[in-house]
Amino acid sequence: MKKKAVFLDRDGVINALVYHQDAGIIDAPFTRSQFKLLPRVPEAIKLLNDLGLRVAIVSNQPGIAKGHLRPDMLKVFERAMLSQIRAAGGRIDGTYYCLHHPEAKVRKLRQHCRCRKPEIGLLELAAAELHVPLAECYMIGDGIPDLLAGLRATCRTIFIGRWKCEICQFTEAPHMRPALVAKDLWEAAQLIRSEMAGAVQVASSPNCLVAQA
């Protein structure tokens, strides 16, 4: 099972989600002080690099469209993220963001597009620029749009978090399951390492799916 690249969602996988008390929502960070990498993320990315895998961020980022943050703040977040990953010896080979939203406050960003997950435009672009076939990639995310995009693009999918089969009722495909489940990116990277070495055992039942290294 030869894989060549790993696509990562950002919020909830790379950095922590934030509770915005004023709006009463859990969302991506809006300010620099709110942007914090999750534990062992730089080490996980270095491990993926050491496995010979290309690593790219593919993320819906509608914050600018919704008026939650300034356009330059996305670059501030990216610089902080890349700096911390480089400090641990890791490397990101590309970052791909969808800035659109069908209900955007910013008119030029208000559209239905092919790049917003669960559509696969971002994944197609990343694969083309990294020169890797989509079928030879992993898609790692913490949300249903990530998994649907990965499945539609023929990637091998990994869900970050606690998979509950009740989630399936909210998806467009009730039979949809991630290939693997991990509590965080570090565990996901270890599962990939084990899988590439042929050592992962996947146990499934009619009601759940669990991956164990």
pLDDT by residue (tens digit) across 147-180?
A: 999 999 999 999 998 765 555 545 555 567 899 9
Question: What is the model's pTM?
Answer: 0.87
From CA 205, how far away is CA 201, in angstroms rounded?
13
Helix 41-50 to helix 185-196 angle (10° resolution) is 20
Catalytic residue status for 146: no
Marked catalytic residue, from 11, 27, 50, 184: 11
Instruction: Give strand pairing partners of 101.
Output: 110
At residue 213 the predicted structure's pLDDT band, cuts being 50, 70 and 90, is very low
Catalytic residue status for 11: yes
Interval 109-157: pLDDT, tens: 788 898 989 999 999 999 999 999 999 999 999 999 999 999 999 999 9
| Secondary structure (3-state) at 179 | coil
Q: Give ∠ CA 15-7-114 in degrees, rounded to 5.
A: 100
**pLDDT score for 171:** 53
| Secondary structure (3-state) at 191 | helix
Q: Which residues contact 181 (CB under 8 A, 6 or more apart)?
A: 158, 159, 161, 162, 163, 209, 210, 211
Residue 212 has pLDDT above 70, yes or no: no
Interval 175-189: pLDDT, tens: 678 999 999 999 999
Mean pLDDT over each residue of the chain, to the nearest integer = 87
**pLDDT score for 16:** 95
Is pLDDT larger for residue 202 or for residue 71?
71
